[in-house]
């Protein structure tokens, strides 16, 4: 299963952008989308920005992902308590 994550563009150099995903900085290709600019949120999949998202949708998606991770961590801690 693949998961595409919203990322905020923080720097652009030709067709490569630096993106911020919840504090993690990565490089991604922006060759597949037009008119992208610093501050835009994009969906990144396999190292390529594939779509521009509006900020509200991007932030909500990141919040959902944080909630899922927190829930999984809490469940894992609960399992460890029974070992």
Categorize the per-residue pLDDT at 78 as very low, low, confident or very high, splitting at 50, 70 and 90.
Answer: confident
pTM: 0.81
Average pLDDT taken over every residue of the chain: 90
Beta bridge partners of residue 41, listed in sequence order: 8, 53
Calculate mean pLDDT across residues 20-46. 95
What CATH number does the domain containing 72 carry? 2.30.30.140
Q: Give yes or no for residue 42 having a pLDDT over 80.
A: yes
Q: Give yes or no for residue 54 having a pLDDT over 80.
A: yes
DSSP 3-state of 59: helix
How many domains does the chain contain in total? Answer: 1
* pLDDT digits 0-9 by tens, 4-16: 789 999 999 999 9
Residue-level pLDDT at 75: 82
- Quote the CA–CA distance of 55 and 41 in Å, as a whole number: 6
Beta bridge partners of residue 51, listed in sequence order: 43
The percent of the chain in helix, strand and coil, each rounded to the nearest 5, is 35, 40, 30
Asked whether 19 and 26 are in contact (CB, 8 A), the reply is: yes
Query: 46 is in which domain, residue-wise?
Result: 5-81
H or E segment to which residue 18 belongs: strand 16-21
- Quote the CA–CA distance of 82 and 51 in Å, as a whole number: 44
Q: Give yes or no for residue 20 having a pLDDT over 90.
A: yes
């Amino acid at each position: 299963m693949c998961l595409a994550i919203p990322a905020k563009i923080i720097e652009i150099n030709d067709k490569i952008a630096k993106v911020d995903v919840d504090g993690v900085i990565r490089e991604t290709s922006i060759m597949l989308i037009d008119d992208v600019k610093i501050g835009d949120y994009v969906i990144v999949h396999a190292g390529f920005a594939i779509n521009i998202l509006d900020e509200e949708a991007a932030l909500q998606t990141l919040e959902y992902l944080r909630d899922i991770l927190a829930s999984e961590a809490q469940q894992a801690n609960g399992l460890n308590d029974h070992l």
